[in-house]
Structures are given as C-alpha cells and as structure tokens.
Amino acid sequence: MPRSLAIETSGRVGSVALAEDGRVLAESQFPHGLKNAATIIPIIDQLCREHHWSPRDLDEVYVSAGPGSFTGLRIGITLAKTLAFATGLKIVAVPTLRVLVENAPSAAHNVIIVLDAKRNQIYTARFQRANDDWLEAESAHLDSLSAMLARAPRPVHLLGEGIPHHRQFIPSDDPGILLTPDDAWRARASAVAKLGTESARAGHFADPYQLIPIYIRLPEAEEKRLAAQANHTQP
C-alpha cells in the first residue's frame, strides 16, 4: 500500500496531507508567506511523527503544480523535487485548477475557476461534470472573466480565490451565474492526494529533473527583465 505525501502551496493558505493507498489520514494547514521549502519540513515532520512515519516510509509525493502563486508554486515544486532526490520518492504533478474543481458543490455541472492574474486577467479553466468526474471544457489559460462567462453554458458556478478581485465583471442580472461559498475557493492537499493517487495508479509520474511549475504567464519580474532587454537591443 503506497504511502504518500500531498503538497498544496498554490494559494493564500497552504496544506500538506498524508495518505495511504489513496486514503487521506491527516491534513495540516499553514498560512501563505512561507519563504522557502525548508520552512514546511517541520510541519511535515510533525505530521509524520503523529502517524509514526519517517520520510523513508513514504513512496510517493503529489504536488499541486499550478497555476497559482509564483512563490508558492516554486516552494511546493522545490520541496517535492528535494524529497525525490533525497529519498527516491516518485513525483506526481497535479494541475491546481483540477484540484480546485474538487471543491465544487454536488449540484454544479459547469464550473469556471477564477484565480487572479492581475491586469483584469484570470488564470482559468472551465470544467463540465460527466457522471462522477470532471472534464476540461477549456484547459488552463489566461483570460478575462467577462470572456469566460460569455462562452459558458448556464447555470455555471464560479470558484476560486480570484473572485473578490473580479467581482465587478460578474453581471448582477444573470441568475445563471452562481458563486460558490468562499470556503470552497482554496485548493486543499487532501484533493491533491486523491487526484495524485489516481494519476500514480495510472503510472503518470513526473521526471524530477524536468518538473517545473505551470505558470501560464511569466512572473512579473521576468516579464520586466525581458522587456528591458528588448528595449536595450532595439536600434
């Protein structure tokens, strides 16, 4: 029975979870703002000690891979890769937007994920429920909430931490647009564990040497650097 660690650091609140053969045993939350991967190690160590596990007892690590907070994603991916190199764990990279849709209410059939990308843009995807699973109607990309709503069937549920930042783009006179409760807007390590287990059983592991976060757009600092470089090289 594989023992696994799930890591979720893409949003304002992070979490880690332990699972055995796909069954979540424990989950621990921590605030966003951790500066590097090493600061999560004591949290994981405490969780493992409570279940009489050591890092060597783990077989797999599942990590929320983005899009989301640039700093948070780097921390989560770095931690997963470090554990893989140090202990030989297999890694599963789980798309964060797929993790988020696990929080959708049971009555939802169409869901738009809303994560703030600044400049009136969102990191988003649209999912449709098919029996007991979610299918991507639109894969992860950069867009505006107005454009996503214009294309979406009704009723459609909105879910994600970007909702407060883009509320002005939600028509107040459209009863087919439904907001999920704000406690559903955060990605959770328990969902990463569920989806990671499914991918691991299908043999979908990531190469730790090649694994990078799903950014969709370059970090702002990198965009500015490239723009300055381009301006410098222009005649």
For the entire predicted model, the pTM comes to 0.92
Check whether 164 has a pLDDT greater than 80: yes
pLDDT, average across residues 153-162: 98
Asked whether residue 148 falls in the same domain as residue 199, the answer is no
Residue 233 lies inside a defined structural domain of this protein: no
Final residue belonging to a domain, choices 184, 199, 228: 184
**Whether residue 123 is found in the same domain as residue 63:** no
Q: How far apart are CA 195 and CA 191, in angstroms?
A: 6
Whether 12 and 92 share a structural domain: yes
Does residue 234 fall inside a structural domain?
no
Whole-number CA gyration radius for the chain: 19
In a domain, 192, yes or no: yes
In a domain, 67, yes or no: yes
Check whether residue 86 and residue 33 sit in a common domain: yes
Quote the domain boundaries for residue 203.
Answer: 3-97+187-219
Comparison of pLDDT for 186 and 226, the residue scoring more: 186
131 in the same domain as 120: yes
Same domain assignment for residues 28 and 89 = yes
**What is the rounded end-to-end Cα distance, in angstroms, of the chain?**
63
Are both 115 and 150 inside the same structural domain? yes
> Is 89 within the bounds of a domain?
yes
In this predicted structure, the answer to whether residue 83 has a pLDDT above a threshold of 70 is: yes
Does residue 30 lie in a domain region? Answer: yes
Tell me, what CATH number does 90's domain have?
3.30.420.40
pLDDT at 66: 97
List, as one string, the DSSP characters of the chain. --EEEEEE-SSSEEEEEEEETTEEEEEEEEES---SGGGGHHHHHHHHHHTT--GGG--EEEEE--SS-HHHHHHHHHHHHHHHHHH--EEEEE-HHHHHHTTS-TT-SEEEE-EE-STT-EEEEEEEEETTEEEEEEEEEEE-HHHHHHHS-SSEEEESTTGGGSGGGS-TT-TTEEEPPGGGSS--HHHHHHHHHHHHHTT--B-TTT-----SS--HHHHHHHHHHHHHH--
Number of domains in the chain: 2
- Asked whether residue 15 falls in the same domain as residue 88, the answer is yes
Place of tokens 């549920």: 157
Per-residue pLDDT band for 149 (boundaries 50, 70, 90) equals very high
90: in domain? yes
Q: Is residue 64 part of a domain?
A: yes
Same domain for 108 and 91, yes or no, is no
Instruction: Give the mean pLDDT of 23-47.
Output: 87
> Mean per-residue pLDDT for 119-138?
96
